[in-house]
Each structure stands twice: as structure tokens, then as C-alpha cells.
Amino acid sequence: MERLLIKKILKEEIVDQTVLIKGWIRSIRKSKKFSFVVLNDGTSQGSLQIVVDAELENYEEVSTLLIGSSVAITGLLVPSGGKGQKVEMQAKSVEIIGKTDESYPLQKKATSLEFLRENAHLRMRTNAFGAIFRVRHELAMATHKFFSDKGFYYLNSPIISAVDGEGAGEMFRVSTLDSKNPALNDKGEVDFTQDYFGKEVSLCVTGQLEGECFASGMGAIYTFGPTFRAENSNTPRHLSEFWMIEPEVAFADLDDIADLASEYVQYLIAHALEHCKDELDFLVTRHGADIDATHLDMLAHVRDTKFVKITYTEAIEILSNSKQKFEFPTVWGKELQTEHERFLSEKHFKAPVIVTDYPADCKAFYMKQNEDGKTVRAMDVLVPGVGEIIGGSQREEDYDKLIAKMDADGMEKEGYWWYTDLRKYGSVPHAGFGLGFERAIMYITGMSNIRDVIPFPRNPKSCDF
């Protein structure tokens, strides 16, 4: 008999059929005449209740199974009189596939998120993490559909790179040299010419620079892949390995890319509210102490509200003139902090906000310089609840200005020869943005720690799975 997924059974409310299901036991209640088994196969937020009669041949063994055991059950689907369920199963046979013992970490009692991070190889079997990672899947599929429907081409940018795309220097080195006795040059320094690639290389911090190459020939592309930062930040919002979505568009300016960013954010929220209702409802209920009960209303508000657009200078004026007391100063030339971003989106405008034209000293070398000589064509998208969720810019397409900025920042231009070539051969205005995928999942699920929205988190002093 072909296996039927619990998701299909619950969605279609299938009854009066004998079917085969397979999954993991979430709970079991035993009595002399029958037992109730709750089974989940990972395909849906809901589980299926199975009534196992004591007359079953292996009833004693089945009824003493522990949580987490895997089974295959054949039975008749019937209407259920139980609260909160429309279908249940009357078991005809139960095959035990894999047993658990008392050492199984995920018992029925409540477990902390920190404990589940320590058992990341099992946490997807819980209701909470099953919900989170089904939402993650849906948002990934929605991302590909959004950009593909708009005519963007999907680019797999390289993971190993010889240049620092952000100029921050926080990169993981990739090397095959002997770590205990590396080859040295005449100056006593590590001789990377003898390394695998013949030069010093690292894990990428962004796919943007390669994205600009492809946008310069294919018009509009997007990358969706892993990126790496060796920043020693052990906070609930930072990871050492995370996923980025980075579209790049030729013949586009800052306004074009800001409109694309706001449309993309609203698209992701709309998709999640439509296709992940059970998961989001569960997360709000399950983590009521952590997630505001109005979380879904806030998402709907962002989905339906026009984004406000202001300049950085206007933002500083609003912040400085407000009666709100901030921990960080609101001085022109300083980066906006999360408290500033949330004030603008949550209290002042009560809407998502796009802030543009930041001071040049705050931003990366590749951003287009404004005529005032002080600001660049950069933008951040701020949303209620978290503050910044997207950062982007119009890129500097003028060769001389780009070279001058790289020189001013003290950058070694040699490795960027191919990037600066783009400004010599048919250069055009172009723009793009970056969205940290985990940050978006955090925002939409309401989770407060980024380590809970990626399958196996990588952060300082932690690489266990």
C-alpha cells in the first residue's frame, strides 16, 4: 500500500479510506482496552490521532512505545469527535520501525529554546521548529518565484573569493597550507603563492560584486546563497554563516531598487500569511511570552501599507527633535542604531520606512556618490518590530570616482581589476540590495534569536553539527 502524507489527510479531511501512514510518535496515552497515539510525519503543523485497540496482535509492545519512536500504521480514517480535529484513524496494524529509550532528549514536558539549540539534530521534530522550517521553505520558494516572475535570472555566485566585497576585513581564510608549518617567504610571512589558489582567499561575505558582472550582461539577476562573516559578535542577531538574497539590476537607480525592495518585503509577508497560517498561528500561541499577540496584525499592516521614503538627513532631524530619549546620539554622520530605526517605523510614521542618502563615511566603497560630496545613494528599509531589514544602494558606475574612493579608503585595488573593468566597458547605472534571509525569517515568524531560524547555526565558539 502506498504511504499517504498526514498533510494531505488533514487538508482534504479524508475519511472512510484504509491508508498507510508513517511518522514519529508525539504522544501516547495507554489504557487496558485501547491507546491514543498522536503521530506526526513532518509534513504539516497538525498531527493525526490514531486509536489502537487492545486486540491488536502487538498491542502491548506498541502501547509502551516512547515519544520519538517511528512507526508505520495501516488503518481506517474516520470522522473524529475529538476537540480540534476532524479526522482520526482506527489502527488495523502497527509496524515498529525504530524505538527510542528514556534517554531521548525531547520529552513531552516543555523544553527551552537554548536546550533545543544544543540538540539541533533533533529539534526539527518539535512543533515549534517544524513550524519555523516549513516557513523557511515557503519563503525560499516565494523568493525564487518573486524574482523569476519579474524576469530576473538566478545566479550562483562563488563561495570562495579573493576579494573583500564589503571592505570590512572580517573574512574566514581558506587554505591548504600546513597550519603548523606553513610556507614562508623571504620576509618571514606566510607565502600564499604556494597555497592551493596561489593567493590568499577567503569565504565570501557577499555575492554582490559578481552579481554586478552578470547584471551588466543579463540585465537583472539575483543571488541566493551562503555568506560568511568572521565578526566576533555573539548576539541574537548575528551568525558567522548565513544566507543572503542579493538582486542586482542594470539601468536602475536608487528609487527603482527601493521600490523593488518594498515590493519584495510585502510579497514575502503576504505569502507567509497565506501559505503558513497554521505555523504562524502556532508560533504566536506557543511562544506567547516572547511573541506579541498582535504580531500577525503587525505583519498584515506592513503588507498593506505604503512605505514612507525620507533621507538620512530628514531622519536625523526627526530623531533630534523628538522627545524620545535614546541611548545612542542622533548626530549627523553617525550610523542609525536599531533604537532609532524602530522609533521611525513604529512610533513616528507607524509604517515601514525607506531611508536614503546616507553619509559616505558610513557606507561601502562601491556606492554612488551624490553631488554634495558628503552622501551616497544608499538606502535602508526599516520595518516595525526590528528596524532595518534590507540594505541597498545605487552603485558607482563612474570609473574615476570608484578608483578615487578605493584610494581614499586605502584599498588594494589589484584584486578588483575585473570589478573596475565593468566601469570601463559599457558601464551603466545599476543598483541592488541585500536581504539576510534569516533576518527575514526572524521577522515573519516573530522569533527573537537568529540561531532558531537556521538549521545548524554557526557562531563564535560553536560549530557542533
Could you tell me if 270 and 303 are in contact, meaning their C-beta atoms sit under 8 angstroms apart? yes
pLDDT per position as a tens digit, 172-188: 999 999 999 999 999 99
Q: Which of 250, 3, 44 is nearest to 134 (CA)?
A: 44
Residue 168 pLDDT greater than 60, yes or no? yes
Any idea which of 191-200, 204-213, 285-294 has the lowest mean pLDDT? 285-294
The mean pLDDT value of the chain amounts to 95
Give the max Cα distance, the chain.
Answer: 84
Residue 393 pLDDT greater than 90, yes or no? yes
Eight-class DSSP state of 353: E
Q: Which of 174, 199, 194 is nearest to 183 (CA)?
A: 194
Written as nine digits, the cell of 234 is 555573539
Neighbouring C-alpha atoms within 13 Å toward the C-beta of 77: 20
pLDDT per position as a tens digit, 48-69: 999 999 999 999 999 999 999 9
200 by Cβ neighbours in 10 Å (0-12 / 13-18 / 19+) ranks as: middle
Q: Which of 180-194, 252-266, 274-288 has the highest mean pLDDT?
A: 252-266
What is the secondary structure of 21-81 as a DSSP string?
A: EEEEEEEEEE-SSEEEEEEE-SSSS--EEEEEETTSTTHHHHHTPPTT-EEEEEEEEEE--
Report d(CA 122, CA 68) in Å as an integer.
10
Could you tell me if 248 and 214 are in contact, meaning their C-beta atoms sit under 8 angstroms apart? yes
Could you tell me if 340 and 326 are in contact, meaning their C-beta atoms sit under 8 angstroms apart? yes
| Measured CA distances, 275 to 29, 44, 143, 396, 410 (Å) | 32, 12, 14, 39, 49
Tell me the Ramachandran region of residue 355: left when phi exceeds 0, alpha when psi lies from -120 to 50, beta otherwise.
Answer: beta
**What 3-state class would DSSP assign to 392?**
strand
Strand partners, 30: 35
